[in-house]
Structure 1
Amino acid sequence: MSGERLTIKTPDGEFSAYVARPAAAKAPAVVVIQEIFGVNAVMREITDELAAAGYLAICPDLFWRIEPGIDITDRSKEEWDRAFELFNAFDVDKGVEDIQATVDLIRKDPGCNGKVGSVGYCLGGKLAFLTATRTDVDAAVAYYGVGLDSLTGEAQKITRPLLMHIATEDGFVPKEAQAAIHAALDNHPLITIHDYVGRDHAFARTGGDHYDAGDAALANQRTLDFFKANLG
């Protein structure tokens, strides 16, 4: 396993992605979709951990259209302010297109066996949901996705499995939004939703203010089990 950089070309320009390769010569791939802090140490660590678990993992720089190479933390007010500026400037539709370009590239990689999944956190959780509705990923996982209550109508387009992790005390996803998500998606045959009672947003972000080791481990194991079942 080693970290490397790949370049992904689109009609609008090119951007980079952090890649971690597993020990196996061929493996399923997983696209890691960033939070609002860019491809930072937390995202690179997740990518590395997926490679250690046997996946060809790739984390694209989805903020490249605003500013390439964003790498900030959740440790200061200035960084939080910058993160929300990026979030507000981000074009979700273009972001999904960039994820599809990432999927296309990694699916053709000599180290990929042809299967590709996605996993996203926060903003990335929203994008992971949209990969299930708008791209050809084989399986998707969304951790505490934001704004999903306004996107549930797209669920009719889902043809591959989707796993969702919801924090019941998520400061960015109000109770009424959670209720709307459950009402719209609970009975969908391809969607599995797990609630984490008492947890706040980003409970799986290592080092974050709301990190909970127990539920983070539970969610991460459920994610690995889901990928094993659906990506092989």
Structure 2
Amino acid sequence: MTTRVDSVGDFDLPVWLPAGGQGPAIVLVQEIFGLDGCLRSVAGELAAAGFVVGVPDLFWRTDPGWSSGHDEAGLNASLAVAGEFDPELGLADVVASLEHLRSLPEVAGKAGALGFCLGGSLAYGLAAVSDPDAVVSFYGSTVPDQLDLLDRISCPLQFHFGGQDPYIPRDAVAKVEAAVAGRANIEIHVQEQAGHAFHNHVAPMFHNPEAAAAAWRLATTFLTTHLR
């Protein structure tokens, strides 16, 4: 596995390449913590599984290269940075990242996206405005208020939520469950015992190892099925 940093317009796109040199592509979309140790480990794990992974620097307009700690101070600092983030411009960056990955000689086959938290919302938006081959969205907080986008999505889409998430109440998740029921291209999984950001293993205040492991098995199986 090798890494490099590509330029996409005015922002950086760190890229992880699989040991075989080629594979399907995944745009990995960050949480508010930026390109931190958790996201780097996810990128490395996906690359080890044979994917070409690109991670756009979403906060490049205000705080390029942002990465924070995962204590209360780091959370508050990241929330302040996220407060300056323009979701519409950020979504355009995710779309550009998908297009860039598809243009690479190392990308063989399909291209999709996986996002966490802020990235989960943007990955969902990507499925509605562009043409990814598959999308996985982890606990995107804007999803319950953007259910009108579902009719614009034709690609395979997988949602993950925590049943004890204080930022996305369980009744809001239930609205998503009801909205996707009967849609053959969409599945939803709720880890009832987990809260927000349960996959982030470097954030003790959020991480739920059992829920993370269960959701990750579902996500990687989904991506392998639809992108290979």
Q: TM-score range by the shorter chain?
A: over 0.9
Who is 2:43 aligned against? 47
Who is 1:20 aligned against? 16
Who is 1:63 aligned against? 59
Does structure 1 residue 194 correspond to structure 2 residue 189?
yes
Shift of 1:175: 2.1
Give TM-score scaled by structure 2 length.
0.96
CA deviations on 1:99-140 (whole Å, 9 max, x unpaired) are: 111011111111001411100001111111111111211100
Equivalent AA in structure 2 for residue 110 of structure 1: P
Q: Equivalences for 1:69-218 in 2 at 5 Å?
A: 69-75=65-71, 77-208=72-203, 209-218=205-214
Give 5+ residue unaligned stretches, structure 1.
Answer: none
SS in 2 for 1:60: coil
SS in 2 for 1:46: helix
CA distance in structure 2 between the aligned counterparts of 1:19 and 1:86, rounded to whole angstroms: 23
On the 8 A contact 1:108/1:114 being kept in 2, the answer is no
Does structure 1 residue 32 correspond to structure 2 residue 34?
no
CA distance in structure 1 between the aligned counterparts of 2:198 and 2:37, rounded to whole angstroms: 17
Equivalent AA in structure 2 for residue 142 of structure 1: S
Does structure 1 residue 3 correspond to structure 2 residue 3?
yes
Shift of 1:187: 2.3
Q: CA RMSD in A?
A: 1.2
Identical positions, percent:
32
Equivalent AA in structure 2 for residue 121 of structure 1: F
Equivalent AA in structure 2 for residue 32 of structure 1: L
CA distance in structure 2 between the aligned counterparts of 1:88 and 1:180, rounded to whole angstroms: 26
CA deviations on 1:29-86 (whole Å, 9 max, x unpaired) are: 10100000111121111111100111001111011122211011212x3322221112
Equivalent AA in structure 1 for residue 89 of structure 2: K
Give TM-score scaled by structure 1 length.
0.94
CA deviations on 1:188-226 (whole Å, 9 max, x unpaired) are: 221100110111011111132231222211111111111
CA distance in structure 2 between the aligned counterparts of 1:2 and 1:69, rounded to whole angstroms: 20
Shift of 1:171: 1.1
Equivalent AA in structure 2 for residue 17 of structure 1: L
CA distance in structure 2 between the aligned counterparts of 1:66 and 1:188, rounded to whole angstroms: 38
